[in-house]
Structure 1
Amino acid sequence: MRLRNKPWAKEKLMQNPKIVIQEPEHFRGRWSEAFAKKQLLHIEIGTGKGRFITGMAKQNPHINYIGIEKQESAIVSALDKILEEQLDNVKLLNVDASRLVEYFQKNDIERVYLNFSDPWPKNRHEKRRLTYKSFLRMYESVLVDGGEIHFKTDNQGLFEYSLKSFSEYGLLLKDISLDLHNSGMEDNVMTEYEEKFSAKGQRIYRCEVKYLNE
């Protein structure tokens, strides 16, 4: 999905510091202070234009959400959705997720969502995949014990790779769907990519995995 450059995006993000947290490292270990209510915290890495994270926030007002997206021209659309819906349980970070440990510490997060991540299909790029072992280690360092990753993709190769990576890391595979939209799941919130790919008849793959460190 080609992203149109929005040169005004950075200024708009800066004008909404209550939603787009400007210095997230200051909330490390005390993220409840950034929200209206002290609740469980879920994050989405690669939140794009925000359809998923805002949909989840509307569906689950008892949970706080943070969408992480490094592209200003994408995350500004997520900001617009939050402003329009007047959601007080979702914030945004315009940062690179590879620096997650600078912004979160152990027990800050209960769940990580990875939706339609870049598959990086070439073998030499394996370490860039968000389900590579170094990323799994990073998530573990900020999640609560027994925390979860929920993963969706249209890319069969990435899905197969990720299942193997999860298993080798020692994660518990809780729920696996090889065709999400024909699985009977009733509360699925779609992303922009998901809607586009499913409309073309492509399968959507999904799994839930759990860290066994309780």
Structure 2
Amino acid sequence: MRLRGRKGIREDIESQKELVVLNAKDHKGKWAELFGNNNPIHAELGMGKGRFISEMSKKYPNVNFIGVDMYDELIRKASEKAKAAHSNSQEETDQDAPLSIPNLKLMLFNIEHIEEAFEEGELERVYLNFSDPWPKKKHARRRLTHPGFVTKYQQILNSNGEIHLKTDSQSLFEFSLNSFADMGLRMRNISLNLHVDGIHPDHVMTEYETKFAGQGMNIHRCEVVIGEAALAAHLEQLNQPKPES
């Protein structure tokens, strides 16, 4: 995918040092230090224009979020989305002050080498939202749910680690479910039509999700339990007695 944007994009994102991270490898194992706290870190791999990660960072201030993409133009667009999402939450008395988004970073990076940006167990959750389906069989290894990528996610996720996947592509969803199953991973909350009963008001939508759901297309979703603590909590919940109807 090639993106054409206005001149000065690189200079624009380079000037946003509080929000944009261009030297991700330098922060490997030190992301908590960069955020200034030990809150859980969630990363969206392939964030596109950044609506989802921006809204999530606003909705959950006690979680640190990192939006990852490899294109300068998408980092710039995501920075605009982030500022728009958070600007209305700034007090009127601070309107002239620089906008601060302490729990959000936008990372310019190639996901193919994601293990070079995060230390083992540094993330709590990975979001894969409407990733490129790479429909040709010869490109299967490029799919972000291929075992080659999932193995890397397993490495950088902690004991509470999970992968949350959403896609409009039936073929990618089928491939992903088989990929997770072949790796012996536990899945939950599998949905073939996430919004069949309408869009829940608490659900944070991506740009693609809004578009496709509006066209009546099915949105597929599942959660993959990776970490030992997350798996133990899931199994304990399954063993809870069901309330009598």
- Aligned partner of 1:188 in structure 2 is 203
CA–CA distance in structure 1, aligned partners of residues 61 and 146 of structure 2: 31
Q: 1:167 to 1:183 in 2, by over 3 A?
A: farther
Q: 1:98 to 1:183 in 2, by over 3 A?
A: farther
The 5-angstrom pairing of residues 159-174 of structure 1 reads: 159-174=173-188
The answer on whether the counterparts of 2:9 and 2:72 sit within 8 Å (CA) in structure 1 is yes
The alignment-based identity, stated in percent, is: 43
TM-score (norm 2): 0.82
Q: 1:198 to 1:29 in 2, by over 3 A?
A: same
Q: Which has the larger radius of gyration?
A: 2
CA–CA distance in structure 2, aligned partners of residues 175 and 82 of structure 1: 29
The answer to whether structure 1 residue 29 and structure 2 residue 29 are counterparts is yes
Letter aligned with residue 190 of structure 2: I
- Aligned partner of 2:83 in structure 1 is 83
The 5-angstrom pairing of residues 20-169 of structure 1 reads: 20-84=20-84, 85=86, 86=99, 87-169=101-183
The answer on whether the counterparts of 1:111 and 1:143 sit within 8 Å (CA) in structure 2 is yes
Structure 2 portions without partners, runs of 5+: 87-98, 230-245
Q: 1:2 to 1:51 in 2, by over 3 A?
A: farther
Q: 1:34 to 1:177 in 2, by over 3 A?
A: same
Q: Secondary structure at 1:88's aligned position in 2?
A: coil
CA–CA distance in structure 2, aligned partners of residues 38 and 176 of structure 1: 30
TM-score (norm 1): 0.94
Say what the alpha-carbon RMSD is for the aligned residues: 1.8
Q: Secondary structure at 1:180's aligned position in 2?
A: coil
Give CA-to-partner distance per residue, 1:16-37, whole Å, 9 cap, x none.
1121112121211121111143
Structure 1 position 124, deviation (Å): 0.4
Q: How many residues align?
A: 214
Of 217, 224, 233, the residue aligned with 1:202 is 217
Structure 1 position 45, deviation (Å): 0.4
- Choose 48-57 or 71-80, whichever is displaced more: 71-80
Give CA-to-partner distance per residue, 1:154-195, whole Å, 9 cap, x none.
001110110110111111101111111125655321111111
The answer on whether the counterparts of 1:171 and 1:212 sit within 8 Å (CA) in structure 2 is no
- Aligned partner of 2:193 in structure 1 is 179
